[in-house]
Amino acid sequence: MNKHKLVFLLLLISAIVSCNGTGNTKLPILGRQEYKEVNGKIDTIFHTIPDFSFVDQDSMSVTKATFEGKIYVADFFFGTCPTICPVMKQQMLRVYNEFKDNPNFAILSHTIDPDHDTVAYLKDYSVRLGVADNNTWHFVTGDKDEIYEIGSAAGYMVPVGEDEDAPGGYIHSGAFILVDQDKRIRGFYDGTKSLDVSALINDIPKLMAEYE
């Protein structure tokens, strides 16, 4: 097992243990935790997605502010991917079709090949996929180093990057990452597996209910 698969497996195990160990229906909060004393009480500081700035398929700026008051699902892909990306996008379409009319939900797909996947390419890609509502599903491009950084342990905690030995020249996780309104990671789901995506579809209303 390579190190990228091992990291993803450990994150999935962490999510399962957290869900089964709490005894309640709330989704776990994943990632690093820090503890800080405030007024004599210990507060837990959870890992959150850092600031970012990308451009979507309609040349619109996409930042953390774009997702204010929303929960969203993030993933990473590239347009010429010969392996898992087509499967992932068909599975993400299931999520999109289920929640596209909910104003408190969004999807954020990052290309990891911005040299090829230009704004114009992403627009065509989204149209061919059947995505008409760019307010719900953002396909974003930007600076390659910034994309890789947001995918790293500092951000979504999944492997992304160039790899000459990988099919298509890039390696990336097949994970769909569920992020809450406070920009905390609440779940990892294998975007190549229908059962995992069904679990994601079931978990999204649970997470939304936390903010009602």
Q: What is the pLDDT of residue 35?
A: 77
Residue range of the domain that includes 156: 49-209
Helix (H) or strand (E) holding 88: helix 85-99
pLDDT > 70: percent of the chain: 87
- Domain membership of residue 163 (yes or no) is yes
- Domain membership of residue 32 (yes or no) is no
- Domain membership of residue 1 (yes or no) is no
- Domain membership of residue 12 (yes or no) is no
d(CA 105, CA 102) in angstroms, rounded, equals 6
d(CA 156, CA 74) in angstroms, rounded, equals 8
pLDDT per residue over 99-141, tens digit each?
999 999 999 999 999 999 999 999 999 999 999 767 899 999 9
Token pair for residue 151?
A: 């995918």
Q: What is the CATH number of the domain that holds 85?
A: 3.40.30.10
d(CA 22, CA 28) in angstroms, rounded, equals 8
The domain total for the chain is: 1
- Domain membership of residue 6 (yes or no) is no
- Domain membership of residue 115 (yes or no) is yes
d(CA 133, CA 103) in angstroms, rounded, equals 11
Burial, 208: exposed, middle or buried (Cβ in 10 Å; 0-12, 13-18, 19+)? middle
- Domain membership of residue 39 (yes or no) is no
Helix (H) or strand (E) holding 36: strand 33-38
pLDDT per residue over 79-103, tens digit each?
999 889 999 999 999 999 999 999 9
Residue 42 has pLDDT above 80, yes or no: no
- Domain membership of residue 106 (yes or no) is yes
Residue 27: band (very low, low, confident or very high) from pLDDT cuts 50, 70, 90: very high
